[in-house]
Amino acid sequence: MGRLSNRILMKGNEAIAEAAIRAGCRHYFGYPITPQTEISHYMAKRMRDVGGVFVQAESEIAAISMVYGAAGAGARAMTTSSSPGISLKQEGFSYIAGAELPCVVVNVERCGPGLGGILPAQGDYFQATKGGGHGDYRNLVLAPASVQELYELTVDAFALADRYRVLCLILADGTLGQMMEPVLYREDDAPRPATKDWATTGTKGQRPHNVITSIYIDPEILETHNLKLQAKYAEIERNEVRCETVGLEGADIVVTAFGTPARIVKNVVRMAADEGIRVGLIRPITLWPFPTKIVAEAAERESVKAFLSVELNAGQMVEDVRLAVNGRKPVHFHGRMGGMLPTQREILDTIRAIVRGEGGK
Amino acid sequence: MALVYQRTQGLLDVPFHYCPGCTHGIVHKLVAEVLVELGLLDSTVGVSPVGCTYNNYEYFACDMQQAAHGRAPAVATGIKRVLPDATVFTYQGDGDLAAIGTAEIVHAAARGEKITTIFVNNAIYGMTSGQMAPTTLLGQVTTTSPFGRDAATQGYPINVCEMLATLRGAVYVERVSVTSIKGIRAAKKAIRKAFLVQKKGLGFSLVEVLSTCPTNWGKSPVESLQWVDSAMTAQYPLGVFRGADLEVET
């Protein structure tokens, strides 16, 4: 870390860790996996300074189970991992959703499937936004695109998790975790709920016992619980959509991209403008809830001829774009996998092809 | 008339769902009585497992969390690290603890987590209708070892106490049974000691309780108790495996 006036030059992974501590997280449970190990390194040191707890768990499954226990006891708890480790945590994700425990998980994505590779990818979009674990549940998914945003969204994640009693997942990619950029610490804390009267902290003889559970054997009671969860998710969809848009007014082509590819696309917007092609960008910051309405409104624009989704996968978010566009305009896709990043030139070539009517994928 | 015995305040006034002849009820009572007698109930958080006792959170009067299959020691770790002054225990069966949750129990013990595990070993999966467990005896017939457990293809029983006793963090490890009044009294003493070990912050403590499953064993309750005393105790000898000399009552 180095100082640039009041800004601090930090690695993305370090920014996540520092943000968590500043948001009041004092319980971190991790298991080593590249490319997010710096978060654990940082926590191992910093937690001692701030009187917090760092536990290196025996597995990703144990780490998320420790988060379950700590969150159930009322703490702001976090675990972080990368794609294969996040797969292991899906059991815990489902139980946490069922038991309505607020917590924060970070996935600094690498390539898959399987052990894949350690370079950046976005192949976990489906897993992050469509489930991954069993049952009907949602995680609130935030997608940062800079180290500053990693910092800010991590702070926000704790407040959102507490507000809705959900797991808030930060879906970053390995580029963001490993890159260094200046970070300005935010002064405002992540607001806490007035009370967590549901937490298991010991009855102190003052109240009936509290129970944290996700099992409801009686089908009528379980369906009521399911409906309650769905109502909560609907409220999140109404209140929490975040999205950045660039140049949609008069755009010929609208590109959708999140995380690192969105940064590349921003340069492509300028390059295309030089050729007289007006390219707009929709960058979802919440992947769930997805900015469906914003995409749908763009599809209604007369100037817009087509959509292009640029992702580090074989085409995952593009399905949500297609659902939002709902057949009103063609939706194309440009993706790279295996840790490869698209160049500005190749994205521009795809845009040119779409303009010529040759289309992308 | 003088009151000489009453239901422990550590258990809620809810009927158990356990099968006739099952010893879970006895073990629940012992845990609850010890927590009350030590004055710990109000500051206790228990962790329920997956298995026949998945819903024992409905019975214990203390705060409870229900864990995924095998993960109770990790969940308990999370609770204890947030509430270091609380008493935290897991209540787990042999499928939960000795199969799917082996990593969690071994590492909680190795870390010396200041939690207490009540490990109820009945040598079978009860809830899912009598499958072979890691603790199933050689030759024992279950729904997934219909010809008797065969070491050649199904391996050998796991002696959990002996295994955990190799770990320095596991400071108190004892195996008891609840097949007689004498055994029940000894079991209560062991459970009390386990919670006192935690209270004193000495490290991880575990009491294994040899238990019955008449329903899935196909035995009467009395035959089941006899089978624990003969066959099970031969494989799983009673005794203290770690911490025999620990003095915790002062």
Q: Give per-residue pLDDT as tens, A29-67.
A: 999 999 999 999 999 999 999 999 999 999 999 999 999
CA distance B27 to B184: 9
**Run of H or E including A157:** helix A147-164
Banded model confidence at residue A5, pLDDT cuts 50, 70, 90: low
Total number of residues shown for chain A: 361
Residues A141 and A204 both lie in one domain: yes
Chain B positions touching A198 (Cβ under 8 A) are none
Residue A279's DSSP bridge partners are A253
To test the contact with chain B by mutation, choose from A59, A68, A100 the residue with the greatest count of B C-beta atoms within 10 A, namely: A68
CA distance B104 to B90: 12
Nearest CA to A286 out of A144, A173, A188 is that of: A144
CA distance A200 to B218: 39
Residues A158 and A294 both lie in one domain: no
Give me the amino acid identity at A258: F
Residues A250 and A229 both lie in one domain: no
Write out residues 241-260 of A within 8 Å (CB-CB) of B. none
Banded model confidence at residue A186, pLDDT cuts 50, 70, 90: confident
Q: What's the whole-number mean pLDDT along residues A291-298?
A: 98
Q: What's the whole-number mean pLDDT along residues B50-58?
A: 96
Domain edge (last residue) among A219, A239, A259:
A239
Decide if A59 is inside a domain: yes
Give residue-wise pLDDT tens across range B124-146: 999 999 999 999 999 999 999 99
Residue A346's DSSP bridge partners are none
* A35: preceding bond cis by omega (within 30 degrees): yes
CA distance A201 to A218: 27
- Write out the DSSP string of A53-121: EEEE-SSHHHHHHHHHHHHHTT--EEEEE-HHHHHHTHHHHHHHHHHT--EEEEEEEEE-STT-EEEE-
Domain edge (last residue) among A239, A261, A277:
A239
Residue A293's DSSP bridge partners are none
- Flag if A202 and B107 touch (Cβ within 8 Å): no
CATH of the domain at A45: 3.40.50.970
Left (φ > 0), alpha (ψ -120 to 50) or beta: where does B156 sit? beta
Decide if A360 is inside a domain: no
For residue A210, give the nearest of B42, B63, B106 by CB distance.
B63
Residue B125's DSSP bridge partners are B131
For residue A202, give the nearest of B42, B54, B65 by CB distance.
B42
Give the A:B interface size as CB pairs under 8 Å.
138
Average the pLDDT over each of A139-143, A239-243, B5-9 and give the range with the smallest value. B5-9
- C-beta of residue B232 within 8 angstroms of C-beta of residue B123: yes
What angle in degrees, to the nearest 10, is found between the helix axes of A37-49 and A12-22? 30
DSSP state of B134: T
Residues A59 and A147 both lie in one domain: yes
Residues A218 and A320 both lie in one domain: no
For residue A212, give the nearest of B66, B81, B86 by CB distance.
B66
Instruction: Identify the closest residue of chain A to B60 by CA–CA distance.
Output: A209
Residues A66 and A38 both lie in one domain: yes
Residues A321 and A346 both lie in one domain: yes
Please give the pLDDT value at position A359: 65
Say whether pLDDT at A360 is over 60. Answer: no
Residue A54's DSSP bridge partners are A28
Residues A25 and A158 both lie in one domain: yes
Say whether pLDDT at B164 is over 80. Answer: yes
* B140 three-state secondary structure: coil
- The residue assigned the tokens 């990593």 is B103
CATH of the domain at A305: 3.40.50.920
Please give the pLDDT value at position A315: 98
Query: Total structural domains in chain A?
Result: 2
Buried b / exposed e over A68-106, threshold 16 CB at 10 Å, is bbbbbbbbbbbbbbbbbbbbbbbbbbbbbbbbbbbbbbb
Say whether pLDDT at A326 is over 70. Answer: yes
Say whether pLDDT at B33 is over 80. Answer: yes
- The residue assigned the tokens 């059991």 is A91
Quote the percentage of chain A above a pLDDT of 90.
94
For residue A55, give the nearest of B42, B67, B77 by CB distance.
B77
Decide if A313 is inside a domain: yes
Residues A197 and A292 both lie in one domain: no
Please give the pLDDT value at position A185: 92
Please give the pLDDT value at position A189: 75
ipTM: 0.97
Q: What are phi and psi of A240, to 5 degrees?
A: -115, 10
Domain edge (last residue) among A182, A208, A239:
A239
- C-beta of residue B214 within 8 angstroms of C-beta of residue B19: yes
CA distance A129 to A287: 7
10 Å CB burial of residue A176 (0-12, 13-18, 19+) is buried
Write out residues 22-81 of B within 8 Å (CB-CB) of A. 41-45, 47-48, 54-55, 57-58, 60-68, 71, 74-81
Q: What's the whole-number mean pLDDT along residues A154-175?
A: 97
Say whether pLDDT at B59 is over 80. Answer: yes
- Flag if B78 and A209 touch (Cβ within 8 Å): no
CA distance B5 to A331: 75
Q: What are phi and psi of A337, to 5 degrees?
A: -135, 180
Write out residues 160-219 of A within 8 Å (CB-CB) of B. 200-205, 209-215, 217
Q: What's the whole-number mean pLDDT along residues B168-184?
A: 98
Residues A19 and A94 both lie in one domain: yes
Domain that holds residue A288: 244-355
Residues A165 and A258 both lie in one domain: no
Banded model confidence at residue A277, pLDDT cuts 50, 70, 90: very high
Average the pLDDT over each of A132-136, A141-145, A188-192, B138-142 and give the range with the smallest value. A188-192
The alpha-helical segments, DSSP class H, found in chain B are: 24-37, 72-82, 94-95, 102-110, 151-154, 160-164, 181-199, 214-217, 221-227, 233-235
Quote the percentage of chain B above a pLDDT of 90.
98
For residue B78, give the nearest of A29, A58, A61 by CB distance.
A29
Q: What's the whole-number mean pLDDT along residues A154-172?
A: 98
Say whether pLDDT at A128 is over 80. Answer: yes
Q: How far is CA B122 from CA A148, A177, B26, B106, B151, in A?
A: 55, 48, 14, 20, 19
Give residue-wise pLDDT tens across range A107-124: 999 999 999 999 999 999
Domains of chain B with CATH codes = 24-242 (3.40.50.970)
- Flag if B104 and A92 touch (Cβ within 8 Å): no
- The residue assigned the tokens 């897993």 is A127
**Run of H or E including A268:** helix A260-274
Give residue-wise pLDDT tens across range B84-104: 999 999 999 999 999 999 999
DSSP state of A145: -
Q: What's the whole-number mean pLDDT along residues B160-188?
A: 98
Decide if A133 is inside a domain: yes
Give me the amino acid identity at B194: A
Please give the pLDDT value at position A347: 98
Say whether pLDDT at B50 is over 90. Answer: yes
Nearest CA to B19 out of B180, B227, B213 is that of: B213
Residue A8: CB atoms within 10 A of its CB come to 19
Q: What's the whole-number mean pLDDT along residues A152-168?
A: 97
